[in-house]
Chain A
Amino acid sequence: MAGADEVIDTSPKVHDEVKTTTCYMCACRCGIKVHLKNGQIRYIEGNRAHPVNRGVLCAKGSAGIMQHYSPARLTKPLKRVGERGAGEFQEIEWDEALALATEWLGGIRATDPKKLAFFTGRDQSQALTGWWASQFGTPNYAAHGGFCSVNMAAAGLYTIGGSFWEFGEADWERAKYFLMFGVAEDHDSNPIKIGLSKLKARGAKFVSVNPVRTGYSAVADEWVAIKPGTDGLFVFALIHELLKADRIDHDYLARYTNAPWLVIANPGKADDGLIARDEAGNPLAWDATTNAPANALSADTKPRLAGDYTLPDGRKARPAFHLMAERYLDPQYAPEAVAARCGVPAATIRRLAAEIAHAAFEQQIVLDQPWTDWAGRRHETMVGRPVSMHAMRGISAHSNGFHTCRALHVLQMLIGAIDTPGSFRFEAPFPRPCPPPGKPAGKNVSPNTALGGMPLGFPLGPEDLLLEADGSARRIDKAFSWEAPLAAHGLMHMVIANAWKGDPYRIDTLFLYMANMAWNSSMNTAGTMAMLADKDASGAYKIPRIIYSDAYFSETVAYADLVLPDTTYLERWDCISLLDRPIGNAEGPGDAIRQPVVKPDRDVRPFQDVLIDLGARLKLPGFVTPSGAARYPGGYKDYIVNHERRPGFGPLAGWRGIDGDKIGRGEPNLDQLDRYIENGCFWKHELPHDQLYYKHANKGYLETAVKLGFLDKAEPIILQLYSETLQRFRLAARGHGPVQPPDRHRARIDAYFDPLPIWYEPFESSAVDTGAFPLRAITQRPMPMYHSWGSQNAWLRQIMSNNRLYVNKDTAARHDVADGDWVWLTSHHSRVKCQVRLMDGVEADTVWTWNAIGKRPGAWNLAPDAAEATRGFLLNHVISELLPERDGYRYANVDPVTGQAAWFDLRVRMEKCDIAEAGVTAPSFAALTPPAGLPARPSILRYGADLK
């Protein structure tokens, strides 16, 4: 039969059944449809009805089949029998594993609960894990945010009550100018791609400010090749230009920000730099009508933005705007003054400022959409400044990231471009108060006692820090101490180093979930592995016990004493909760679930089920009934439906109430999960049109937010151009108040708790000889790969199984380095050997690579000679968790405000390696042997052969 006579079945049966659930191949939380055939997964596609991805699915999500059937999946609980790190395990039954964990943890709880350090990685159940920690009674809990993007979250939440990433998004439908700062490819993956496509189709301009021209930057209309860590200076220069030309939105500033609030000028005194307030505590502004101070929150006040004023009690004060304008009008922030440091020509900065002003003011959007503001005043239209911005890790992962992110938000406020048509928009449940309520718990830690609050929160001043009497840290990671006062996500990246050193104290058990701390999630990876296996003089491990839960044979498994094997994301219940990181967008709030679409074929259990089981075994309050029985005998599924954090509010907001007819608040509904499944495993509330913008001051929206439990009161959220919170810490450093930093930390707090955004050289650059380390080194994730958990994926690793060091062609020529050469990359801390790829699209003094591609030999059930292990490398090896010593002390390599890991501060030099050394990466480590239960690696995959 010739080809053309071939009979083709053009309508084959695709599936026996389709189940919806939520993807977990990255943190994006897209809706998926899983097609099942012959009991296998035939195909995974995006769910068109889903508000996050609207039917599309990325490379990661499309590779879920290989993730699910990976031979790296753990198969049974494991107990360490050899030395730690050797990877010698004995398979044990769950009963034994849980009894062991209960014995260890119960002992800690009965004596000193803080000796448990419980840290989770890219965990989407933090509402559960954080609550579990608080019921256990340990303050030593956090997820991965400290080494991810707490700078963005904290700066955003303290400044605008929202943030980039999942708390806000660009107005893709209406923006006419879009600025993206830094690497953002992995947050928020599909929505940004969908949005960029819409934006470009409409002819809006897309400017990417990024040292590297890949991914989104590759399709930008203009690429601004900035030097890493100088974005703050660049933003100040834009602000300088806008102020000089008075191209700012005065009305927006007066109505929605604290720009008119009067700041007390009383140098040397305890109230210097604080907001002037009336007796009721209301902030004051200078009222133009009465020429006197007036309640800045009153709708009747006609505030002045500038001027020197004398308060009735004789104190001097100026509006916050005045202080801000004075600072950024200074010639030190003129484009020509910052150009060389940013690597961006002054003329380009001036032109971009002109383009931003043009888009914001000449192209303003007026929607014929009436709305009512917080004071009850009806407005016939919604006026928009169609300039959107987005930023993520490129800003965040520097030691100056908190202030740089605040600078971006100040720029947005100045042009009136927050939650207006065409601008950055809050994603419900945001905006929340700046900052949201809830201070970190942990001041009182007692045996067999719950914490009395959640471990993570938002301090408003020094009195909210978690400190010992001598001013040292109470938490193992030193979050909420003077070394990281606003560490809203904790400092997971410091836990192992601190616990090993016993600084501030020794712990008993390190309990990790889904965090590859023995590899790509730690700085100083080799040192971290050594710490995990290190023993004291008595021969005992310095970190006495390590419990780890992971679905896969990651590098960290080898260091655990007890391994609790998790399921894949397709085998479990989960909820993407409004109490945690939901799926709402600017059009309305939403949440979602995962349902098991296939049954585990191994002796594994969902971690959340295990945690709830442990909670009951340990008799943690909240996890047992008054009679001591398990409160959630049905596991996480039971908890998702029946748990109430406060009366009427549970993990899921949809279909609440006995009859399932309530949203937000309502009694638990036993059929709730069925309703979610019927709806494609998500719930979405669409806001009416008059609530879609100005959410921070929109009466209708604020009332909705109160009803749904996002806000306690329907009061406007005033955007904080000037941060009084920061000033409170600064005053403490200057000798005021009952809680003051130890002398060692005074100057640092004084310098970095400036109430207006500042820029400073990233710490590593000011701490090392930049002549000896002339290059900056950064990383990003390839779009098809996320975290290390994609690395064993048979399909994704064909796209990338090793990573090169990308070097600008001119820079390479100066180093006599050619494409394909092997080089040593050396930092003040260590060195790593890697292979070079030349490119044009990278800023000349920057080198970069893909993150988390390099693997330890044998990990993830890859062959020990896999490219990931021989040619893939981690930049982590040359990043120190500590800054170089200064005045006898080594601070953590973090942002001084939030404790955010400063991954991108790295300085290096590059030297061609000896020809004899070329061909294989270094440092190298002994190969890991997969646990006995893991299947042999197949020599060929014919996936789908029996699905046709």
Chain B
Amino acid sequence: MTSYTVGEKKLGLVIDLDTCVGCHACAVNCKEWNTGGHSAPLPDRDPYGADVTGVWFNRIHTFEVDDGECGRTVHFPKSCLHCEQPACVEVCPTGASYKRTEDGIVLVNADTCIGCKLCSWACPYGAREFDDDAGVMKKCTLCIDRIYNENLEEVDRVPACVATCPASARHFGDLGDPGSAVSRLVAERGGHDLMPELGYKPVNKYLPPRAGRARQAAETPERLEAVAADTGSLFLRWIDRALSR
């Protein structure tokens, strides 16, 4: 059992389900950054064979929501949500899993992880990734080797998934600061927790789809009205029309 302290700063991601088109850019860019990053490598077994499996910190799930005419296809990116009450940390027998006080990021210390997988059993979101090659648990680090990296331009100090997202569906910031851009975004768009009923208080938030098809229809008539009783009158109207080049 590992204890932790929740600080004021809560770095996390805000993911916009209104514009996520399920392109997997975030997942693959995460993979290429992190396979040479803090948790390197993110190995791939049988990479060109029948049973390819690899370590990915971010995966996209696609499913349909069936509610009749307004059914949706949902693309749902999911990575570690850096919970305020991380079950994965609580169950860690060695203290390898921990939550940083200074920014809330949940990490695994590879040197002390014994690969017992208790954390992955405890994580309600299935967000942990076991590296069976090294025998240690790995996970999203929120690109801890980018966000404070003084070798990168300031504008690049965001997680790789955020930087690369073509649909601007991913945002990064301090969700502990109600005045931050991400907090305001969550407030404006009604952002929500993933499975809040479980009580782990995930820091990452999801923005729901915007209003949708009703948006335009409410302002416009259901159909256009014919302007002439018959086609002949319509043509007379056009013949008479004064036009210039």
Contact = CB atoms under 8 A, between A and B. Distances in A.
B49 A863 contact: yes
Nearest to B166: A193
Interface in B25-76: 25, 27-29, 31-38, 40-50, 52-54, 56, 60, 62, 64, 66, 71-75
Contacts of A60: 28
A663 interface: no
B135 to A, nearest CB: 13
A940 interface: yes
A218 interface: yes
Given A65-B32, A783-B22, A841-B73, A942 B167 contact: no
Contact of B109 (A6, A260, A329): A6
Interface residues on B, range: 35 or more
Given A11-B151, A940-B43, A243 B234 contact: yes
A56 B164 CA distance: 4
A727 interface: no
Contact of B166 (A190, A215, A245, A307): A190
Contacts of B149: 10-12, 14
Contacts of B4: 4
Most A CB contacts (10 A, CB to CB) among B92, B209, B242 go to B242
A288 interface: yes
Given A62-B164, A321-B238, A944-B42, A254 B28 contact: no
B243 A250 contact: yes
B95 A4 contact: yes
A947 interface: yes
Contacts of A194: 166-168
Contacts of B38: 8-9, 12, 948
Contacts of B160: 45
Nearest to A322: B235
Contacts, number: 347
A945 B41 contact: yes
A304 B240 CA distance: 8
B215 A203 contact: yes
A214 to B, nearest CB: 6
Interface in A928-946: 937-945
A941 B109 CA distance: 22
B121 interface: no
A92 interface: no
A42 interface: yes
B64 A794 contact: no
Interface in B155-186: 155, 160, 163-169
Interface residues on A, range: 35 or more
Given A71-B48, A244-B224, A63 B107 contact: no
A796 interface: yes
Q: Is the interface of B mostly helix, strand, loop or mixed?
A: loop
Interface in A482-519: none
A242 B36 contact: no
A866 B49 contact: yes
B182 to A, nearest CB: 15
Contacts of B22: 214-215, 218, 783
Contact of A3 (B2, B49, B238): B2
Interface in A894-948: 937-945, 947-948
A713 to B, nearest CB: 18
Interface in B84-136: 92, 94-98, 100-101, 107-109, 111-112, 133
Given A2-B112, A62-B31, A196-B19, A865 B50 contact: yes
A865 B148 CA distance: 44
Most B CB contacts (10 A, CB to CB) among A48, A218, A260 go to A218
Contact of A177 (B29, B216, B226, B228): B216
Interface string B228-241: 10010011011101
Interface string A39-62: 000111110100001011111111
A216 B167 CA distance: 10
B150 interface: yes
A515 B46 CA distance: 28
A359 B66 contact: no
A866 B48 CA distance: 7
A545 interface: no
Given A11-B149, A863-B48, A783 B108 contact: no
Contact of A841 (B64, B145, B152, B228): B64
B72 A218 contact: yes
Nearest to B44: A941
B28 A62 contact: yes
A840 B215 contact: no
B6 interface: no
A837 to B, nearest CB: 11
A6 B222 contact: no
A870 interface: yes
Contacts of A209: none
B215 to A, nearest CB: 6
Contact of A59 (B27, B144, B210): B27
B223 A351 contact: yes
A251 B216 CA distance: 26
21 contacts: A12-B38, A13-B151, A58-B166, A194-B168, A197-B168, A219-B18, A221-B213, A250-B238, A250-B243, A254-B244, A303-B243, A321-B238, A347-B223, A354-B220, A354-B221, A792-B48, A794-B48, A796-B28, A839-B64, A937-B47, A944-B41
Given A203-B210, A795-B44, 15 more contacts: A2-B2, A2-B94, A10-B147, A46-B164, A59-B24, A205-B216, A215-B21, A216-B21, A218-B22, A325-B235, A354-B223, A357-B224, A840-B66, A945-B40, A948-B36
Nearest 10 A/B pairs, CB to CB? A3-B98, A944-B36, A947-B36, A245-B224, A193-B166, A2-B95, A944-B35, A218-B73, A794-B47, A254-B243
